[in-house]
Structure 1
Amino acid sequence: MVLTCVTCASLGSAWAQSAAADTSARALPEVVVSGSRQEQASDDLPVSIDVIGAQEISNRQSTDLRDAVRDLPNVSVQTAPTRLSVTGSTASALRDGNTGLNIRGLGGNRVLMLVDGIRIPRSYAFRTTTFDREYLSLELLKRVEVVRGPASALYGSDGMAGMANFITYGPEDFLKNADGTAKQIGGRVSAGWSGDDNGHTVAGTVAGRASDSLDWLLTASTHGAHALDTHGTNFEPNVNRTAANPQQDSGNSLLGKIVLRPTVGQKHTFTLEHVEKSADITLLSSRTPLPLTGTPSQIAGAIVDESANRDMQRDRFTWDARFDLNAPWADHVQTVMAAQRADSRQVGTSVRNALPLRIRDTRYGERTWQAGLQADKLLKSGNWGHRLTYGYDYVQSDINNLYTGLNPAPPEKFPLKRFPDTRETTHALYLQDESVRGDWSLTPGLRLDHFTLDVTSQTGFYPPASEPGKSLSGTALSPKFGLLYRATPVWTVYGQYAAGFRAPDAGQVNGYFENMAEQVVLIPNADLKPEHSRGVELGARARFDALHVDFAAFSSNYRNLIVDRVQMGGSGTATDPRIFQTINIDQARIHGFELKGAMDWGRVGLLGGTRLSTPFSYGQARGRNTDTGAPLNSVEPAQLALGLQLDTVPWTLRFDLRHHAAKNASDIDSSAAVKAPATQFTIPAATTLDVALQWRLRKDMRLNLAVRNLTDRKYWLWSDVQGLAANATTNDAYTQPGRSGFVSLVVDF
């Protein structure tokens, strides 16, 4: 299939351009802001970028971030597994911190995630405690922009793998009639149901124009769901269970905006955003099977009941001001100030047969201030045109954690902290020059970052830690250079070199844990070095009348890549406990390619004038520790997505076939995933089929229906099974949902 697509892109020029094209179906250039910190057509950027619009999210009934990005090549989302426990570690997905987006084989905090340009809190994972990064509500989003490869030069030192910018709605999105004329009030209401978790969502938006200079918007949504229905078939209420545990999820979100234009050339946007989510889980899969057997101590400590409660909340206030200056030093200036508060809490309760009740109450929080000043200037020098973008970014985050509860495992005493309270601060200066001459564009850029990681309080951490937490600081330059050539009206080729840089976080530097019941000790590493990357990307774009194709090949080399909790020694006895530490890998390399596009076959007469199109994407990557030759487990298997879409005036019907390649043992470093002599669970290849129908009942009302995994295929995703042993009997618990239906209704006014 991939070879066929490449052949069409190479040989199809003559017939694609001569075919009669329906201009209404020709896609307008996508305008993005994430590629260059300016509104610009994505085809003019020497970088691989994807845009997912709100209509696509709604039409395909995406319920979370994983759903939204599932067809982007070399992009995935790692989620916490459906089997959890309170008193012991499960999959390494809960230990390596890689919860969130994965782009081109790297994930977690190496992906920069923004909402309207404001940073989302990082992920934090420690044993059975996982605080992920999905402080998001899709109902608030107008579009998602995903940039692959290092984004450090413009956006920040931690965008080594790439960046995702989640852009929320504004009043202007609802205050235009279909003919482009303005209206005083508008909005949208929607309701949906998802069959894979028996979930429901209700959302409403209203926007208004109070005067010629003042617009406003208010969006609210609520969501409820149950456990994700996997292919597990064992419903026993004990550790043999593979069916999902009973679970109740809920979430609410609120977005308010005021847009003020006091004068021509001046715009102020005030944003208030609130997102909250919670989950209550009855952990039947943690219970000890009956009748109880074993030694007296094992019988006394047997789990007879266990539950977990999870809550997360994020609040953000942003002032975004834009000024038209037309001054010698800047044409436009943008200032941004934001305050954000994020809190996550997990409570685990274990009822033991003859031992006291054990409770784990874990909290993680970030308080962030972010400010930025950005200017741009258009200059002309001979046959060259230049657009300079330069500015200053400041981010300060106060990070805290607290572990408390009842009956901790000796020698720990509650309350305690896994790492001391820490303030992370970054100052950055950046400059980019987009130079254009004829069909050539050159885009050099440079960012200077200075970071500090300051321990603000040892209270609760030292003691019992064997040594106090340490502070560190550093400075780094992140250069990039892009080159784009418009070879013909159809073909564009580009290349980019970019550097990445990420400082270690507080938990990696100072994390400490001691559990002599398991003979395990995690020690800090104040000598951790920042990660560095050097990446090259080469790409080509073809824009025929009927066929659009994007191809990109990439290779990135990493130095001092940070790996969490590596066993440094110890046999696992009381006198010789296993010692773990977060360390740097000297060298690693990830390379691969991506192909994506769409073929518009035009109107098919046999189907009554129905327009037929075929979107497609394919991504493949490989990664190695170049010092040891071992593969990098964070790299996902290849995925092919192939769609067939039929469009008429009243309805759209779409079929989506996805093929997930196998993850074989030769591409896995088992020693980094599971304890020897066990080996990592491998996953077979799988192909699934989805079908979706949108029926436009009126011009302002649409009904969406979908069935996912139509063939009820049993399969796993690699991101969910890392750390599972091949000989485990409960791996079916990590399967994806079977055949499930979805329905939603959207009304605009």
Structure 2
Amino acid sequence: MSLRQTPVALALSVAFPLVFAPATPPAFAQSVTPASPPAPSQAATGAKLSATAPAASPAARQAAPHTAPPTAPQAGSDAASQPASHPRSSAATSAPTQPLGDITVSATRTERATTAVPNTVTVITRKDLDRRDARDLKDLLSDEVDLSVKAMTPRFTAAGASTGRAGNEGINIRGLEGNQVLMMVDGIRIPQSFAFGPFASGRADFVDLDSLSAAEVLRGPASTSYGSDGLAGALVMRTLSPDDLLKDGKTFAGYAKLGLQTVDSSRTASTALAFGSGDWSSLIQASIRRGHETRNQGDDHAANSTRTAPNPTDIDTRSVLAKLAYRVNAANRLTGTAEYRERKIDTDVLTGLTVPTATPAATAVIGLTANDRMDRKRVSLEHRYEDLNALWVQQATTQIYVQDSQTEQYSYEDRNTAADRTRYTDYQEHLIGLSTQAQTQWQNQRLSYGVDVSRNHIEAVRDGTVPPAGETFPSRPFPKTRYQLAGAFLQDEIEFGNVSLIPALRFEHYRLTPDTTGYAGQAVKLSDHALTPRLGAVWRATEWLQPYVQWSQGFRAPTPDQVNNAFANPLYGYSSIGNPNLKPEHANSWELGVRGGLGKDVRWQLSAYDNRYRDFISQEVVSGSLATANLVYQYINLSQARIKGAEARAVWDVATGLSLHAALAYAEGHSTVDGVESPLNTVQPLRATLRARYERGDWSGWASLQHSSRKKASDISSGGSTAAPFAPGAYQVVDLGGAYRINPTLSLSAAVTNLFDRKYWRWGDVSGVAANSTVLDSYTAPGRALQVSLRADF
């Protein structure tokens, strides 16, 4: 699938907003030394602000007293939606779980210290990414007590179950997951997850960690900043830029890395090269990973459905990122980006085979193979204007982009004497968009305002042989749909001495327009709008007491398959119809917290939140009955939900080079349908982590202890099943890692996960599994595993 041509009119209409601002410095800028023009190597994306310039707001310069001021933050290639890389204190570099003292961009779409935002944000820098050397997002976020990534062991079938086929499905933030969490790379939305029958496409595997410069996790509704989605929060990622490598005046820099991991017998090679010449700079980054199935602790290797060991799998992943940046003049920069990622998975699905008997049925499955492929490619062009001495507009960023993604899943089922079956599903998204944002600063406040517009063409096709009774192939699970989003936001950051007040408001309009070509059912259009306000406040009362509070609202527009899920099976007497009156899901959230420090060696944060959701979308029977065999299904706004919890985080600098990090999170939640409450299975049990980090000279090391409490039976919904759900017990897992710099060029790192080879189940990976299942061991987490990498920097 090739990228389609971007409409020129869309690019030209708002490509360069307000870039010719007056040069008279405002009162706010007069209090500091003006920023000097960037060095020749500091072109386009990633151009650093001068160390003497403000970090874009008074609050960003007023980091907590225990932390050095965040001077010279790395400006992201899209300041409107991307995290910034920046220097960190020795304590702050100890672990990704540390939410104190970093610079965040995702929380307000402007640079602010995480100690100056009214909610909880995790900032993961490139140094954190290199230190953790994680395979994927699931590994990277494993120490975060209020986050998880669902990835069930694959046990799918050819025409029925899709268990585990989606891979790393997506991120769970404080009890919500899937498409209810916003995921972005360089300000561009990651493709949505989608499931229908045996097909399931996740989201987290579309991201290559080696290509990232930084990532941020934002808790709480993100609609005021980014529009639809993000009911629970957002994962906002930024890719590498030339300036991430071209430091200290270098015109050439790069790295090469080789790695081995026993958990999936994988081998990894990654490299990045950056070049700078005058006003031009460029970067090329590529990575390859070849591996096999992720190991669990199942020991039944039978070639049938009783198997608990993972299915034999070959996984081949390739990623390429290229950037070209040009500094037009001291205030204007252009950056072009091209990115490609492909992932192929070939599986011998032994768990889908029928248990042998003396007289096997004609439809007994004697062989099942699957070939899955997913890819994401995008091109983008960004213009960035920055002049801190300008009178009206000090910064403006505009990005236009095109992104294509595709997920193909094919399976072949060899049956005893009955006709063999095949299934093929192709899910595609073609996204084109524009995002622009500007900032105006005065003496004690900063206005941010912007517009985001996107149009996503979404379609899916099902095909194969021996279709179910009453169906014909090929068919579409939903019509081709043009999904449009258009929004505008306004935010003010006001500083009253030691108090920051941050009000914001966004208006968003969405429209779903179906195309019934090749679609057998009826289709309906849907359009609506939403207004999402947010209000936050931070009070830096004393060094050891800094309370904050935030109230925010969010929404998620219905997806194309929810609005139009028309399907009919007359033989079995059921059908589904569209719903032109489907409303978006809404969130109403409060977070109250306090941060502080005890001297310069201890920092801590306590927070509590109460998130209320309404108009959850659910597919229900709206007419007919089993007796009359004319059931009609429809997606409707049905349930309400509430999730509340509390979290604690602390950092202690024990001695020079040695620090301890601790975190604890507890949450509870339920949904309400027709006045009846049920537990929310997506809410995690109580979790805690304790992490130690030591760094001295050429040596560094870390150790972490992860604890998860037992999920209580009363906190688990059976989902209407008569079988009792499986409730995994509590567990503690210890991981160790370290690194040694052999010389200025070479460094060696190694880590051991699950050091004591503990057998355990992660709640997010077993939700929905019955307690009487005979294959519970197939859902266990990996046992002891080793990973080693050798890196050369030049």
Q: How high is the TM-score relative to the length of structure 2?
A: 0.84
Conservation of the 8 A alpha-carbon contact between 1:518 and 1:572: no
Cα distance in structure 1, aligned partners of 2:623 and 2:270? 53
Q: 383, 387, 404: which one pairs with 1:341?
A: 404
Query: What amino acid does structure 2 have at the position aligned with 1:147?
Result: L
The answer on 1:205 being equivalent to 2:253 is: no
In 2, the alpha carbon distance for the partners of 1:426 and 1:24 equals 40
Q: How far 1:525 moved relative to its partner?
A: 3.6
Amino acid at match of 2:683: V
**Which residue does the alignment assign to 1:439?**
498
The answer to whether 1:705 aligns with 2:750 is: yes
Is the Cα contact below 8 Å between 1:80 and 1:130 reproduced in 2?
no
Matching residue of 2:102: 30
User: Within 5 A, what are the aligned runs for 1:100-249?
Assistant: 100-134=170-204, 135-176=206-247, 181-211=248-278, 213-249=279-315
For 1:289, the aligned partner's letter is V
Partner of 1:629: 677
Check 1:567–1:632 CA distance in 2 against 1; reply closer, same or farther (3 A cut): farther
Aligned twin of 1:461 = 519
* 3-state SS in 1 of match to 2:468: coil
Count of aligned pairs:
697
Measure how far apart 1:129 and its partner are: 1.1
Percent of aligned pairs sharing the same letter: 36
Taking structure 1 as the reference length, the TM-score comes to: 0.89
What does residue 413 of structure 2 align with? 350
Q: Secondary structure at the match of 2:677?
A: coil
Aligned mates of 2:571, 2:731 — CA distance in 1: 41
The amino acid that maps onto 1:281 is T
CA change 1:286–1:225 in 2 (3 A) is same
Q: In the alignment, residue 430 of structure 2 is paired with which amino acid?
A: R
Partner letter of residue 601 of structure 1?
V
Map 1:271-282 onto structure 2 (within 5 A).
Answer: 271-282=337-348
- 1:38 is displaced (CA, Å) by 1.7
Which residue pairs with 2:525 in the alignment? 471
Corresponding residue SS for 2:676: coil
Partner of 1:79: 151
Q: Distance in 2 between matches of 1:514 and 1:425?
A: 28
Hey, what does 2:651 align to over in structure 1? 598
Q: Give the match for residue 616 of structure 2.
A: 561
Aligned AA for 1:25?
Answer: S
Other-structure match for 2:550: 496
Is the CA contact 1:113–1:120 (under 8 Å) kept in the aligned structure 2? yes
The match for 2:375 is 313
TM-aligned CA distance change 1:515 to 1:83, over 3 Å: farther
In the TM superposition, 1:236-315 aligns within 5 A as: 236-291=302-357, 293=359, 299-315=361-377
Corresponding residue of 1:43: 115
Change (3 A) 1:290 1:209: same
Deviations, residues 159-179 of structure 1 (Å, cap 9, x unaligned) = 211011111111111111xxx
Shift of residue 722 of structure 1? Answer: 2.1
| Matched residue, 1:10 | none
**Structure 2 partner of 1:20:** none
- Contact 1:388-1:434 within 8 A present in 2 as well: yes
| 1:514 CA drift (Å) | 4.8
Show the 5 A alignment for 1:628-667.
Answer: 628-667=676-715
Cα distance in 1 for partners of 2:643, 2:342 equals: 36
**1:715 counterpart residue number:** 760
Q: Which moved more, 1:82-91 or 1:322-331?
A: 322-331
Worse overlay, 718-727 or 231-240: 718-727
Letter in 1 for 2:586: H
Which secondary structure state, in structure 1, belongs to the residue aligned with residue 139 of structure 2? helix
The aligned residue for residue 534 of structure 1 is 588
- Give 1:681 deviation, angstroms: 1.6
| Cα distance in 1, alignment partners of residues 574 and 724 from structure 2 | 21
CA gap 1:737/1:207 in 2 versus in 1, 3 angstroms: same
Q: Give the 3 Å change call, closer, same or farther, for CA 536–292 of structure 1 in structure 2.
A: farther
The more displaced of 27-36 and 473-482 is 27-36
Alignment CA distance shift 1:324-1:706 (3 Å) = closer
Aligned to 2:43: none
Q: 1:487 aligns with which of 531, 538, 541?
A: 541
Equivalent-residue separation in structure 1 for 2:165 and 2:222 (angstroms): 26
Question: In the TM superposition, what is the alpha-carbon distance from 1:25 to its structure 2 partner?
Answer: 3.5
Task: Report the residue type matching 1:144 in the other structure.
Answer: A
CA distance in 2, matches of 1:89, 1:521: 20
Structure 2 partner of 1:13: none
Given that residues 103 and 123 in structure 2 are in contact (C-alpha distance below 8 angstroms), is that contact kept between their aligned partners in structure 1? Answer: no
CA separation in 2, counterparts of 1:528 and 1:429?
A: 23
Which structure: greater strand fraction?
1
Is residue 429 of structure 2 the alignment partner of residue 376 of structure 1?
no
Answer whether contact 1:94 1:126 (CA < 8 A) is retained.
Answer: no
Q: Which residue of 2 aligns with 1:506?
A: 560
Distance across 1 between alignment mates of 2:606 and 2:158: 45
Q: Alpha-carbon deviations, 1:371-425, whole Å to 9, x = none?
A: 0221110123xxxx11000011101100000001111112111110000000110
Helix, strand or coil: the match of 1:71?
coil
After alignment, is 106-115 or 594-603 more displaced?
594-603
Aligned partner letter, 1:540 = V
Deviation at 1:528, TM superposition (A): 2.2
Equivalent residue, structure 1, for 2:607: 552
Q: SS of the counterpart of 2:583?
A: coil
Where 1:597 maps in the other structure, the secondary structure is strand
Q: Give unmatched runs, 5+ long, in structure 1.
A: 1-15, 18-22, 604-610
Return 5+ residue gaps in structure 2 as ranges.
1-65, 68-87, 94-100
Partners of 1:246 and 1:567 lie apart in 2 by 39
Partner of 1:53: 125
2:737 aligned with 1:692, yes or no?
Answer: yes
Q: How much has 1:616 moved relative to structure 2?
A: 1.5
Give 1:171's aligned amino acid.
Answer: P
- The match for 1:620 among 666, 669, 691 is 666
Instruction: Give the letter for the 1:250 counterpart.
Output: D
Paired residue for 2:33? none
8 Å contact from structure 1 (residues 307, 349) kept in 2: yes
Contact 1:98/1:109, CA 8 A, preserved across alignment: no
Return the alpha-carbon distance in structure 1 between the equivalents of residues 703 and 292 of structure 2. 27
Once residues 429 and 58 of structure 1 are traced to their aligned partners in structure 2, the CA distance between those partners, rounded to angstroms, is: 36
Paired residue secondary structure (1:259): strand
Of 781, 790, 794 in structure 2, the residue corresponding to residue 736 of structure 1 is 781
Separation of aligned partners in 2, 1:129 and 1:315? 21
Letter in 1 for 2:661: P
SS class of match (2:725): coil
Deviations, residues 255-311 of structure 1 (Å, cap 9, x unaligned): 1111110101111111111111110000000101112557xxxx1111110111111
Contact 1:411 1:516 in 2 (8 A): yes
Q: Is the 8 A contact 1:409 1:517 kept in 2?
A: no
Q: CA RMSD in A?
A: 2.2
Change (3 A) 1:524 1:301: farther
CA distance in 2, matches of 1:25, 1:661: 32
Q: Structure 1 residues 158 and 657, CA, compared in 2 at 3 Å: closer, same or farther? A: same
Specify the alignment match of 1:670 in structure 2. 718
1:386 to 445, 452, 455: 445
Deviation at 1:526, TM superposition (A): 3.7
